[in-house]
């Protein structure tokens, strides 16, 4: 089963990343432009279309609570790991970012699309769980974007940035307004699918998987592969192993003490918790001049090693 999962889920993702990697080595792609297209155009369009079409169910609030609880538990786990590794304060903040903030956009969303479009997550050959799985991932995607661009700056700055500064950054993010507008239209029942704007936004939204993975490939082509050191391996273990394990424990605890959690919700949240560190964490470290090399190596290491750990997590989640 692991081989099947690797071939149908991980290989397509690696192939598109490899295309971006090769194209940059051959033509020196404009990474800044690609990143801006992803951040200001494609991601907001993707979040808008999926938030607008999202069907609210009793599980919606459960997904939100579990996302928040999982984040809090992982924060505690990263704090314990920092103490065990005896890192200095500044470097510990970078490792905390790498563990807490994953690449749910560039890898998480494409991963969920590929997983629930293939066995063993099909039923009668149909991807009946795909849209519901994407809906759950949207919650994680939005939450991760908000906390990464607020707490991420605060942690990387070792507490030098005030809470007001971190909050101000959040309100500069286009996805906040994209989600807010889509929610308002969704809840208000405003029909826009028959308007000229809908096919435009939909077509842009459909470009997310390719643009996100292509951009990741370009980013990786410019990053030196030198991550076999203690601090990098500590952070990688925290992101790829501790992350999904703590999310699973959070789900088990929630099921025991509050209410049962459905298999699909459990699967998507655990898989999402197993994706590599977000590229944004390295960009934040570079902006703040705080151990940028270490942050970059964590992103590269977790991305490469996830090719081994993700199939195992996906297989485990399929048993839930």
| Alpha carbon distance 179, 200 (integer Å) | 17
Closest to 157 measured CA to CA, from 97, 212, 100 = 97
pLDDT in tens, 75-132: 999 999 988 888 888 788 889 999 999 988 778 888 898 888 887 777 777 888 888 8
Name beta bridge partners: 277.
102
Per-residue pLDDT of the chain (320 residues; tens, 9 = 90+): 678 778 877 888 888 889 999 999 999 998 888 878 887 898 889 889 988 988 887 788 899 999 999 999 999 999 999 888 888 887 888 899 999 999 887 788 888 988 888 877 777 778 888 888 988 998 898 888 778 767 777 777 655 666 677 667 767 778 889 989 999 999 999 999 999 999 999 999 998 888 878 887 887 888 777 767 888 999 999 999 999 999 999 999 999 999 999 999 999 999 999 999 987 777 777 667 777 778 878 988 898 899 899 999 998 988 87
Is the domain 2-318 a CATH 1.10.10 member? no
Cα 281 to the chain's mean position, in Å?
12
pLDDT in tens, 10-33: 888 888 889 999 999 999 998 888
Task: Give the chain as a DSSP string.
Answer: -HHHHIIIIIHHHHHHHHHHHHHHHHH---HHHHHHIIIIIIHHHHHHHHHHS----HHHHHHHHHHHHHHHHHHHHHHHHHHHHT--HHHHHHHHHHHHSB-IIIIIHHHHHHHTTSTTS-BTTB-TTHHHHHHHHHHHHHHHHHHHTTHHHHHHTTT-S-HHHHHHHHTT-HHHHHHHHHHHHHHHT---TTSTHHHHHHHHHTTHHHHHHHHHHHHHHTS-----SHHHHHHHHIIIIIHHHHHHHHHHHHHHHT----HHHHHHHHHHTTSPBPHHHHHHHHHTTSSHHHHHHHHHHHHHHHHHHHHHHHHHHHT-
- Contact between residue 231 and residue 85 where contact means Cβ atoms under 8 Å apart: yes
Helix 43-52 and helix 130-148: axis angle, to 10°? 130
Closest to 216 measured CA to CA, from 278, 144, 158 = 278
Name beta bridge partners: 102.
277
Residue ranges covered by each domain of the chain = 2-318
What is the CB neighbour count within 10 angstroms for residue 23? 15
| Alpha carbon distance 55, 38 (integer Å) | 25
């Amino acid at each position: 089963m692991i081989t099947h999962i690797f071939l149908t889920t991980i290989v397509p993702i690696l192939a598109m990343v490899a295309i971006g990697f090769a194209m940059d080595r051959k033509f020196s792609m404009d990474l800044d432009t690609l990143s801006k297209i992803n951040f200001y155009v494609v991601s907001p369009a993707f979040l808008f279309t999926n938030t607008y079409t999202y069907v609210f169910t009793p599980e919606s609030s459960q997904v939100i609570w579990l996302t928040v609880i999982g984040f809090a538990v992982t924060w505690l786990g990263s704090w314990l790991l920092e103490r065990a590794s005896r890192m200095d304060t500044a470097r510990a903040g970078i490792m905390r970012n790498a563990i807490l903030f994953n690449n749910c956009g560039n890898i998480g969303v494409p991963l969920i699309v590929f997983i629930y479009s293939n066995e063993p997550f099909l039923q009668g050959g149909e991807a009946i769980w795909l849209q519901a799985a994407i809906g759950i991932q949207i919650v994680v995607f939005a939450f991760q974007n908000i906390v990464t661009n607020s707490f991420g700056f605060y942690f990387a700055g070792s507490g030098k940035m005030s809470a007001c500064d971190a909050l101000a950054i959040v309100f500069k993010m286009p996805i906040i307004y994209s989600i807010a507008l889509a929610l308002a239209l969704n809840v208000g029942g405003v029909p826009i699918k028959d308007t000229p704007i809908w096919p435009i936004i939909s077509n842009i939204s459909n470009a997310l998987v390719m643009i996100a993975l292509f951009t990741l490939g370009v980013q990786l082509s410019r990053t030196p592969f030198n991550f076999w050191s203690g601090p990098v391996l500590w952070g990688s273990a925290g992101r790829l192993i501790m992350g999904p394990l703590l999310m699973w424990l959070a789900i088990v605890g929630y099921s025991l003490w509050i209410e049962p959690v459905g298999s699909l919700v459990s699967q998507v949240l655990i898989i999402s918790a197993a994706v590599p560190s977000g590229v944004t964490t390295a960009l934040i470290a570079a902006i703040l001049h705080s151990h940028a090399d270490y942050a970059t190596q964590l992103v590269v290491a977790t991305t490469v090693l996830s090719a081994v750990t993700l199939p195992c997590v996906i297989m485990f989640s399929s048993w839930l």
